Chain A
Amino acid sequence: MPPLTRWFVKAALVYFVTALLLGILLQAGTVRALPVLQVSWPTYVHILVVGWLTQLIFGVAYWLFPRDSAARPRGSERVGWASFVLLNVGLLLRIIAEPGAALGHNAAGLLVGSAVAQFLAGLAFVANTWPRIKER
């Protein structure tokens, strides 16, 4: 398993546990009355779907999809790392900024930064994976 896949999958596992712990808090008696938890449903969904599911797919696809070429079996390693860093920076910014904005704090810059980072992460993954999807 290449190093980038290990980072993707281990980060995915951290988000998986985090999301399910947050899921408990969102259902837990008096705790869920906390203002920050009352606005955290979208964040919870994105930790689960982007942090866990999408990131796991990115990591496994990078590892197991057909080789691009003998010289660059997994495409550009730099682009692969860029997708990892951008996805995680974007998601972490979202985790901070989204509840903050919902509670009335000015988080416009962080939200836009998160949006741009995650979008670029997706594009980087698509660009790096596309040439590897080919008929034998």
Chain B
Amino acid sequence: MPRLSVWMIRTALLHLAIGFGLGALLLAQRGMALNGVIPRLRPAHVELLLLGWTVQLAMGVAYWILPRFRSGAERGDERPAWLAYGLLNAGVVSVALGGAGLAWIGLQFWGRCAEAVAAGAFAWHAWPRVKPFA
């Protein structure tokens, strides 16, 4: 497994653990009022599990298993994929913190922008690898 896939999948696993933790707090809150702040964590719960876990896992696995090139770098130019990794995680953390009211609310907008650029950078990297193996 290439280094970037290791980073993406391990980071996705961290998002999974934290996202499930937040989900557990939200669910338990419905049964016993633990803390009035907990319902504000819902957007962070969704963000971590949808983008941080599911989307990032898909990106990490795609980077690993999409067809490689016979000549030159086997996975092509890695830089856009690394950029996607950095921007996606910056975006997820920004949206999660902004959504929970733990940071400047405008951070959510810039987080979404980072996520969109991450998607574009990853597509830029992956596009030429979507081809027949031969």
Interface of A with B (CB < 8 Å)?
A: 49, 53, 57, 66, 94, 97-98, 101, 107-112, 114-116, 118-119, 121-123, 125-126, 129-130, 133-136
Contact = CB atoms under 8 A, between A and B. Distances in A.
Which one of A107, A115, A130 has the highest number of Cβ atoms from chain B below 10 Å of its Cβ?
A115
A59 B57 CA distance: 14
Nearest to B50: A49
A98 B25 CA distance: 14
B1 A133 contact: yes
Contact of A66 (B1, B16, B19, B28): B1
A109 B1 contact: no
Interface residues of B, number: 25
| A interface SS class | helix
Contact of A133 (B10, B24, B30, B31): B10
A123 B20 contact: yes
B16 A126 contact: yes
B17 interface: yes
Interface in B4-37: 5-6, 9-10, 13-14, 16-17, 19-21, 23-25, 27-28, 30-32
B106 interface: no
A132 B3 CA distance: 13
A93 to B, nearest CB: 10
B28 A112 contact: yes
B21 A98 contact: no
A9 to B, nearest CB: 17
Contacts of B39: none
A124 to B, nearest CB: 10
A94 B3 contact: no
Interface in B100-122: none
A125 B2 CA distance: 21
Contacts of A98: 27, 30
